[in-house]
Amino acid sequence: KKEQLQVLATVDAVTKDGSVLQLASNISSVKELDLALKHGAKGVGLFRTEFLYMDRATFPGEQEQYEVYRLVAEKTAGQPVVIRTLDIGGDKQLDYFELPEEDNPFLGYRAIRISLDRKDLFKTQLTAILRASAAGNVKIMYPMISSVEELQQANEILREAMADLDERGLAYDANIQVGIMIEVPAAVMIADLLAEEADFFSIGTNDLVQYVLAVDRMNEQIAHMYHPYHPAVLRMLRATVDAAHTAGIDVSVCGEMAGDERSIPLWLELGIRHLSMSPQSLLRVKHRVLNTTASDAKEEARKCFALRTSSDIEERLQKFNDASG
Ligand code: PEP
Ligand code: MG
């Protein structure tokens, strides 16, 4: 089965009736990138940079980060590489960086909040990413944005990093695209405002589901309540896409939902054409896209949007998936 799927690596993900989906990969390392490229990824939709900071004794410096980002940009050969700035806190810790004990780490000192608090670390990372943007199609993405101010503050630091590079005479892409993760309900509700200042959105369903449903994604006791197909989640997806389309910016999905082939009808109906998933999911999802008729899938999705419970929606999507071979 695996070998059969491998022949799809060089095939485009197109439905039977001609709708094209761009399948990019989530990666956390160069090794994962190699697997993603072997599986035919159209670029990197989410580079989780945390690994660069983990399993070591100190923060990685600018040069060290630059070399990794440049390598990823070069290997991806002109296809987009979305580099997400540091997303620690919540469940992710660093041995050498004392994070405060918190009652609610997922509601606490995390991701962009740390970056804006530790401007030194943030600017070092942005500088390294900017330098790599001279070597390929690099984009920047901020995690866990919940307000316009955060986006503005982050961009202010980005402009400082650019000015420093100008002074040092180092090259970077002055028109680099800067996007945000949509993974906090507040960001969905102000997506129209954020879209005025972001070049693209990427929906992080892993966190979005947890925050919309108030279900800790790490807590096994309530894992049965973690429902990506909850009607509230579907409405959040729709609101985000509508805001992006109205503003004319690109929107993709990079949470685990993107790698669940049962969701394909939802993406087709919503008008999402960019997905990013684990390297292991790429060929399986592509195989499913090739066996899907978009017009049928959209009709199915419209029925799902009218359903009232997670289990009804999931069941319907499962049946559609099973029926399309
Ligand atoms: C997400 O939250 O959906 C996401 C892609 O980011 P992470 O899983 O790294 O939190
Ligand atoms: Mg997340």
Summarize the confidence of residues 115-134 as an average pLDDT: 98
Tens of pLDDT, residue by residue over 241-297, are 999 999 999 999 999 999 999 999 999 999 999 999 999 999 999 999 999 999 999
Q: Is the CB of 252 under 6 A from ligand 1?
A: no
| Ligand 2 ion: residues within 5 Å (CB) | 183, 204, 207
Q: Is the CB of 43 under 6 A from ligand 1?
A: no
Mutate to test the pocket of ligand 1, among 29, 47, 84, 87 (most ligand atoms within 8 A of CB): 87
Summarize the confidence of residues 180-202 as an average pLDDT: 98
Please determine, for residue 1, whether its predicted confidence score (pLDDT) is greater than 90: no
Q: Is residue 104 within 8 Å of 136, Cβ to Cβ? A: no
Q: How far is the CA of 225 from the centre of ligand 2 (A)?
A: 18
- Which ranges of 141-204 would DSSP assign to H, the alpha helix? 148-168, 185-189, 191-195
ipTM: 0.99
Own/partner pairs for 161-166, CB < 8 Å, 24+ apart? 161/123, 161/126, 161/127, 161/130, 162/130, 164/123, 164/127, 165/127, 165/130, 165/131
pLDDT at site 132 = 98
Q: Is the CB of 206 under 6 A from ligand 1?
A: yes
Measured CA distances, 204 to 16, 133, 253 (Å): 28, 23, 6
Tens of pLDDT, residue by residue over 65-109, are 999 999 999 999 999 999 999 999 998 889 999 888 999 999 999
Phi/psi for 182 (5° steps) reads -105, 100
Q: How far is the CA of 291 from the centre of ligand 2 (A)?
A: 30
Give percent above pLDDT 70 in the chain.
100
Closest CA to 132 of 208, 47, 217: 47
Q: How far is the CA of 203 from the centre of ligand 1 (A)?
A: 9
pLDDT band (50, 70, 90) for residue 15: very high
Q: How far is the CA of 46 from the centre of ligand 1 (A)?
A: 9
Q: Is the CB of 300 under 6 A from ligand 1?
A: no
Give percent above pLDDT 90 in the chain.
95
For the chain, report the end-to-end CA distance as a whole number of angstroms.
14
Q: How far is the CA of 280 from the centre of ligand 2 (A)?
A: 19
pLDDT at site 324 = 82
| Atom number of ligand 1 nearest to Cα 48 | 9
Taking the C-alpha atoms of residue 73 and residue 67, their distance in angstroms, rounded to an integer, is 10
pLDDT at site 2 = 75
Please determine, for residue 25, whether its predicted confidence score (pLDDT) is greater than 70: yes
pLDDT at site 100 = 85
**Average pLDDT in the chain:** 97
Summarize the confidence of residues 138-157 as an average pLDDT: 98
Q: Is the CB of 153 under 6 A from ligand 1?
A: no
Stated pTM of the model: 0.97
| Atom number of ligand 1 nearest to Cα 206 | 3
Dihedral sign (CA 150, 206, 15, 307): negative
Dihedral sign (CA 122, 128, 134, 135): negative
| Atom number of ligand 1 nearest to Cα 257 | 3
pLDDT at site 259 = 98
| Atom number of ligand 1 nearest to Cα 90 | 10
Strand, coil or helix: what is 276?
Answer: strand
Q: Is the CB of 85 under 6 A from ligand 1?
A: no
pLDDT band (50, 70, 90) for residue 3: confident
Strand, coil or helix: what is 54?
Answer: coil
Residue 90 sits at the vertex; the CA angle it makes with 84 and 95, to the nearest 5 degrees, is 85
Please determine, for residue 225, whether its predicted confidence score (pLDDT) is greater than 90: yes
Strand, coil or helix: what is 50?
Answer: helix
Taking the C-alpha atoms of residue 79 and residue 157, their distance in angstroms, rounded to an integer, is 26
Measured CA distances, 251 to 39, 74, 91, 276 (Å): 23, 24, 26, 11
pLDDT at site 325 = 67
